[in-house]
Chain A
Amino acid sequence: MTSARTFSSPLDLQSVRADFPILSRELAGGFPLVYLDSANSSQKPRQVVQAIEDHYLKHNANVARAMHQLGAEATAAYEGGRDKVAAFIGAPNRDEIVFTKNASEALNLAAHTLGASLKPGDVVVISEMEHHSNIVPWQLACERTGATLKWFGVTEDGRLDLSNIEELLTENTKVVSLTWVSNALGTINPITEIAAKAHAVGATVVVDASQAVPQFPVDVSTLGADLLVFTGHKVVGPTGIGVLWGRYELLAGLPPFLGGGEMIEVVRMTGSTYAPPPARFEAGTPPIAQAVGLGAAVDYLSGIGMDKIAAHEHAIVEYALEGLKTVPGLKLLGPTDAKDHGGAISFELDGVHPHDVSTVLDTRGIAVRAGHHCARPVHERFGMQSSTRASFYLYTTPEEIDALVDGLGFVRKFFKVD
């Protein structure tokens, strides 16, 4: 089906899609794959898979501790990944990049190490639209230390409710940890503005950029965050690697998180001293091939241009919002216009549970996510138990959005709600 609506993107979608072999797969029933679950995990271009294969087949060894030629090659490849990631997000210093296993581990690292200096009376501020991974680690940190957890609410139109910001940010506020782009609502939050107010009261600002770094150019040197996390597999990179970026002086003052090999300076039975960042936070054999893959991934995205990817995402979101608004009984969760809207759109379809929506779409080759998307509180805020989410990336085409809109019409017919 061709669309009558207009769509314009700076990307050559045909050539982008040719880099992702999985996108030409045919699924059961002869339906072509329509992958609308990139906020969950993005697909991988050939370039990333080949970089990982090349590393394993030609340069594989452990890093740092292996003193032979392959060890040197593996170390150079791993540290090369760090250089590329640092450049990709505008980090002034490569030692500000810590590799973790995912964004959740990076947030746990932040909550543990910043949590070490929390005490009763201190306040940690998060928001109602956080992913569980930016809620639970802070709940645990507050339980351990006696600090108090507070949060920004969410307005009816799915934006952060900043009306009580003066009450939330006081001299007792030590940490403010917020998502940049909501994985459930799609909302893009005004991080720089909030960070300035948080810094004015002396709080440290942590940013969950898991849905931001994939979608638009990020420059940590001007953002205003003190710590920022994201994950490799959502930026066309491999699973098994996440990133914590931190201002060097802040990282240098934080205690270790996990103990083990490579994070130490001198170990004695009576006590140990610790390596400077980033090694202090990278105990044990790190995700080496994953760092190589992540380096290739950010090279790939830079090669296309993050500004173009952002423009494409915006165009697709605008197109999708328009299309979804034509489906009777469909209620959007979060902002209903494309302004400050990330590449994920969640919705409810009257009379059909999201699992059933997702299963019926799946039989037509359309992959979406159904459930609470690890963001139960924000669903509760809107009186919903769960929702269906379609999310997009640099390879998403308007024809795929049309297939989704058609598919939802079929869902309504199938469940006899039209």
Chain B
Amino acid sequence: MQLDSLYQEIILDHYRAPHHAGLADPYDVEVHHVNPSCGDEVTLRVELDGETVKGVTHDSVGCSISQAATSVMTDLVIGKPVSEGMATYEKFLELMQGRGNVEPDEEVLEDGVAFAGVAQFPARVKCALLGWSAWRDATAQALAADQGVSNA
């Protein structure tokens, strides 16, 4: 098992100084996701502007992988259409579940390619997905709420 492939310098950089950390106002939806088996927790806020992700902020406790993945995720989705963020998630998920056999697409995943090594540590894949699951949940709720308003 290659430690350096798991803990790439990019990951450690994001871990030490996570991007968009600290919950900001205003926001549309706040969610709290936990990894019950290990105790990692993330509180995450999403603000949408129509179909575009305007802002994502988070307050999380957890390991380097979960903190860094959440940080990278915010960079990847902020300012993008929701649909593009969701497509990026699919690419990231494919990489995580690929057991090291998936070639990451740097065009799409940017710093997220640093997580390629995580796929070889099955116990840590859920760490890398925690922030993403929180963002997807919050975004889906925000879209649904928006839909509710426009239908009203």
| A interface, over-half SS | helix
Q: Which positions 10-52 of chain B face chain A at CB distance < 8 Å?
A: 12, 37-41
> Per-residue CB proximity of A362-400 to B under 8 Å, as 1/0?
110000001110001001000001100000000000000
A363 and B63: CB pair below 8 A? no
B1 and A29: CB pair below 8 A? yes
B1 and A355: CB pair below 8 A? no
User: What A residues does B63 contact at CB under 8 A?
Assistant: 353-356
> Per-residue CB proximity of B57-72 to A under 8 Å, as 1/0?
0000111111000000
Number of residues of chain B lying within 8 A (CB) of chain A: 20
User: What A residues does B39 contact at CB under 8 A?
Assistant: 371-372, 376, 379, 385-386
Task: Name B65's closest neighbour in chain A (CB-CB).
Answer: A355
Known contacts A354-B63, A363-B1; 18 additional CB pairs below 8 A are A353-B62, A353-B63, A355-B65, A355-B127, A356-B63, A359-B3, A359-B123, A359-B124, A360-B3, A363-B3, A370-B38, A371-B37, A376-B39, A385-B39, A386-B38, A386-B39, A386-B40, A414-B7
Footprint of B on A, CB under 8 Å?
28-29, 353-356, 359-360, 362-363, 370-372, 376, 379, 385-386, 414-415
User: What A residues does B37 contact at CB under 8 A?
Assistant: 371
How far does the alpha carbon of A352 sit from the alpha carbon of B37 in the complex, in Å? 19
User: What B residues does A415 contact at CB under 8 A?
Assistant: 12
How far does the alpha carbon of A363 sit from the alpha carbon of B6 in the complex, in Å? 11
**Which among A28, A356, A363, A386 is the interface contact of B64 at CB below 8 angstroms?**
A356
User: What B residues does A29 contact at CB under 8 A?
Assistant: 1
A355 and B61: CB pair below 8 A? no
How far does the alpha carbon of A233 sit from the alpha carbon of B38 in the complex, in Å? 21
User: What A residues does B127 contact at CB under 8 A?
Assistant: 355
Minimum C-beta distance from B125 to chain A (A): 12
B64 and A353: CB pair below 8 A? yes
